[in-house]
Amino acid sequence: MKLADTPVEKIDFFGHSVFVKRDDLLHPEFSGNKARKFRYFLDHDFPHVKRLISFGSPQSNSMYSLSVLAKLKGWQFDFYVDHIAKQILNANEGNFSQARHNGTNFIDLSTVSDRQGRSCSTYIEDLLSKEDETTLFISEGGHCDFAQYGVSLLAAEIVAWMKIEQLGQLVVFLPSGTGTTALYLATYFKAHDCPIEVMTCAAVGDSDYLKQQFSVLVGDTACFPTVLESGKKYHFGKLYYAFYEMWQRLNKTGIEFDLLYDPLGWIVLQSFLTRNDKRPVLYLHQGGLLGNASMLPRYRRKFD
């Protein structure tokens, strides 16, 4: 299973050279940054654990990778969701259907009798207070400090590459969901005095929400990545023509990107590149291509 040491390629993007760190070439079952964030669980033994619990979107990359983790470890996997739309239930491709194939037990809270109006996260909190050491809980999207272990290995790979390329400075850019990957990269570079600035943008919620997510994991704001604004409000998971157009342009580089995070990432990066900052830029490809199987038909129906 390939979990580290991905290559870096140089692409031409609107007349700018950009390096791309190909974490999409990691093992497909741990889609990109999920391989990094969940690496800790792969490298360590959990002799008491019998069951894994998490919650979030029934289509997420993170949920799919956790289903693989549970399968590898022989754990039961209970995944709590707010509700599951019909077209997701009926899909036979994409994260949900693959996770179900891996034996994931989906608990749709819109159908349980003891919900009592609680939010998904409160419901889980109450549930976990009754659990024991045989249950392992991983918060939504892998937003947890266990992620630091694997993301630091990624950071070290970037530093080693930078030395070989003899680059004196570098900007590492990646779009964020929970911001966990960007945050632990920035924390590592700061702790090791590397001349690398991590830049990101908020694909889920706005920049303030993203910074709040950073502060749940790390207290020192000096370690936070730089958050660039997109200048326009995009809702996570919604379809935008600008995203589809960017995605199609990116395909011409010969590299397939994801349809949820990367179009926004490249839109924001494009505007940064026009600012004529002279530092070389490394874009982190964070995988997520299995999700395209459900996103692409939606885009095609809407815009083709």
Ligand X SMILES: *Cc1c(COP(=O)(O)O)cnc(C)c1O
Cβ proximity to ligand X: between 36 and 127 the closer is 36
CA neighbor of 182 nearest in space, from 160, 158, 197, 200? 200
Residue closest to ligand X, measured at CB: 288
Task: Please report how the helices 147-164 and 180-191 are oriented relative to each other, as an axis angle in degrees rounded to 10.
Answer: 60
Amino acid at 9: E
Cβ proximity to ligand X: between 148 and 181 the closer is 181
Number of residues that bind ligand X (CB under 6 A): 19
Contact residues for 168 (Cβ-Cβ < 8 A; gap 6+):
195
Name which of residues 49 to 78 contact ligand X (CB under 6 A). Answer: 61-62
By the rule CB under 6 A, 187 interacts with ligand X:
no
Name which of residues 251 to 270 contact ligand X (CB under 6 A). Answer: 258, 261
Q: How far is the CB of 180 from ligand X (least distance, A)?
A: 4
Amino acid at 250: L
Residue of 67, 148, 176, 294 interacting with ligand X (CB under 6 A): 176
Q: How far is the CB of 277 from ligand X (least distance, A)?
A: 23
Name which of residues 110 to 129 contact ligand X (CB under 6 A). Answer: none
What is the C-alpha separation between 287 and 257, in angstroms, rounded? Answer: 7
Asked if residues 107 and 78 have their Cβ atoms less than 8 Å apart, the reply is yes
Q: How far is the CB of 262 from ligand X (least distance, A)?
A: 7
Name which of residues 20 to 39 contact ligand X (CB under 6 A). Answer: 31-33
Residue 134's alpha-carbon distances to 3, 5, 26, 49, 139, in angstroms, are 26, 33, 30, 4, 16
Cβ proximity to ligand X: between 62 and 294 the closer is 62
What is the C-alpha separation between 85 and 147, in angstroms, rounded? Answer: 30
Cβ proximity to ligand X: between 52 and 182 the closer is 182
Residue of 98, 181, 292, 294 interacting with ligand X (CB under 6 A): 181
Regarding beta strands 170-176 and 281-285, do their DSSP bridges make them parallel or antiparallel, or are they unpaired?
parallel
Question: What are the strands, taking DSSP E only, across the chain?
Answer: 8-13, 16-22, 51-55, 76-81, 105-108, 135-137, 170-176, 196-202, 226-227, 281-285
The binding track of 209-248 with respect to ligand X, each residue x by CB under 6 A or -, is ----------------------------------------
Order of strands, edge to edge, in the sheet holding 170-176?
Answer: 8-13, 16-22, 281-285, 170-176, 196-202, 226-227
Name which of residues 130 to 159 contact ligand X (CB under 6 A). Answer: 141
**E strand or H helix that includes residue 124:** helix 120-128
Q: How far is the CB of 56 from ligand X (least distance, A)?
A: 10
Residue of 180, 187, 292, 294 interacting with ligand X (CB under 6 A): 180
Instruction: Tell me the two tokens of residue 24.
Output: 């999409």
Q: How far is the CB of 38 from ligand X (least distance, A)?
A: 11
Cβ proximity to ligand X: between 104 and 127 the closer is 104
Q: How far is the CB of 47 from ligand X (least distance, A)?
A: 28
Q: Under the rule (CB under 6 A), what is the footprint of ligand X? A: 31-33, 61-62, 141, 175-182, 258, 261, 286-288
